[in-house]
Amino acid sequence: IDTLPDNMTHLVEDSRNYYTQRSFGPDDRRAGAFWVDMDDLQHGQVRMHGLLSNTHKQAARVALSFPFPFYGHYLKQITIATGGFIFMGDVTHRMLTATQYVAPLMANFDPSSAKESTVQYLDNGEVFVVQWERVRLHGRDSEGEFTFQAALYRSGTITFSYRDIPLSVEQIISGQHPVKAGLSDAFMVVKPSSKTGDARQRTIYEYHRVQIDTAKITNNCAFEFTALPSCLQHNSCVLCLSANQTLGCKWCHVLQSLQDQQSVVNSCLITSHHHLLTIFGPCAMLSNSRREVGYSKEHKPVR
């Protein structure tokens, strides 16, 4: 695959088996099929977000009309940011660019710098599309307008499409805003703070990231991320352990579910391989005995 020309299709299966990634160069006719024409009414009603289209470094929460599976977790809301990405976390904070994102091109875009710049989205029940149209880099208006999309499909597939990329991504300065493209997910651990009795300390752990080779982001190219089977789709102990050989799934009796990350704090921990570290006994005869598995090396707090 590495020897193929840049304008050909590339197939990459990530090492943790969450997504299969394909890239389509500008000379691949299939690249154009991923672009959603926002002017075509058959795709659904397009909404221009007034706040995001007229501000800088701003994000807004939007409800989805369908549950979208992201890393196996079903989301009902997402957060669109002016900086070329979608934040997928439940809890918003000041570090949205750090992790838990779907980012076709995260950069310091400023839609407020030109009236032609807009952030639009549509939701037709099968796909949710966000389009950053004619957006410019903050303080660098003369370097051109960027237009690109991210699409979230009900099936869990994610696509990135790029129409206008006037500047090589490597030339975008990341001093005031991170520059990256791809997917990322994390989980949050909440602990009581040592300072006051009521305060809580939140630590975010990123457990997986899919990165795009930004050198391949050009006019008329596209990327497709196909979701692979996940441990979290199994909602019973028997189903979970039956998938153990292929997915490395583990079951936590305390939760009785693989989907509630927030309650993991007081019972089971999460790992990038199978999401649940603490394993209780066999399904039919659960006991107090348990086996503790150490943290993966990839578990690093997001600072």
Residues 205 and 237 in one domain: no
Question: pLDDT tier at 13 (50, 70, 90 boundaries)?
Answer: very low
Span 131-190, pLDDT tens digits: 999 999 998 888 899 999 999 999 999 999 999 999 999 999 877 889 999 999 988 777
Q: Is the pLDDT of residue 126 over 60?
A: yes
Torsion of CA 284, 287, 289, 290, to 10 degrees: 50
Whole-angstrom distance, CA of residue 134 vs CA of residue 146? 5
Q: Is the pLDDT of residue 244 over 60?
A: no
Poorest-pLDDT segment among 28-42, 231-245, 261-275: 261-275
Does 209 fall in a domain? yes
Residues 62 and 176 in one domain: yes
Residues 147 and 218 in one domain: yes
Whole-angstrom distance, CA of residue 148 vs CA of residue 105? 8
Whole-angstrom distance, CA of residue 284 vs CA of residue 290? 15
For residues 39-59, give the mean pLDDT: 87
Residues 300 and 175 in one domain: no
Looking at 227, 252, 285, the residue that finishes a domain is: 227
Contacts of 175 (CB under 8 A, 6+ apart): none
Does 4 fall in a domain? no
Residues 143 and 207 in one domain: yes
Q: Is the pLDDT of residue 191 over 90?
A: no
Residues 179 and 292 in one domain: no
Residues 131 and 240 in one domain: no
More confident residue, 17 or 35: 35
Residues 71 and 214 in one domain: yes
Residues 276 and 238 in one domain: yes
Element (H, E) at 244: helix 244-247
Q: Is the pLDDT of residue 128 over 80?
A: yes
Contacts of 190 (CB under 8 A, 6+ apart): 200, 201, 202, 262, 265
Query: What's the pLDDT at 139?
Result: 87
Query: What's the pLDDT at 16?
Result: 58
Does 3 fall in a domain? no
For residues 18-44, give the mean pLDDT: 89
Query: What's the pLDDT at 266?
Result: 32
Q: Is the pLDDT of residue 207 over 80?
A: yes
Number of H helices, E strands in the chain: 2, 15
Q: Is the pLDDT of residue 238 over 80?
A: no
How far, in Å, are 161, 162, 177, 222, 269 from residue 216 at the CA level?
12, 11, 21, 9, 37
Residues 243 and 223 in one domain: no
Residues 199 and 133 in one domain: yes
Q: Which of 288, 33, 266 is nearest to 159 (CA)?
A: 33
Poorest-pLDDT segment among 39-43, 134-138, 227-231, 233-237: 233-237
Total of domains in the chain: 2
Q: Is the pLDDT of residue 198 over 90?
A: no
Question: pLDDT tier at 251 (50, 70, 90 boundaries)?
Answer: low
Domain of 56 in residue numbering reads as 10-227
Q: Is the pLDDT of residue 119 over 50?
A: yes
More confident residue, 232 or 22: 22
Q: Is the pLDDT of residue 288 over 90?
A: no
Q: Is the pLDDT of residue 228 over 70?
A: yes
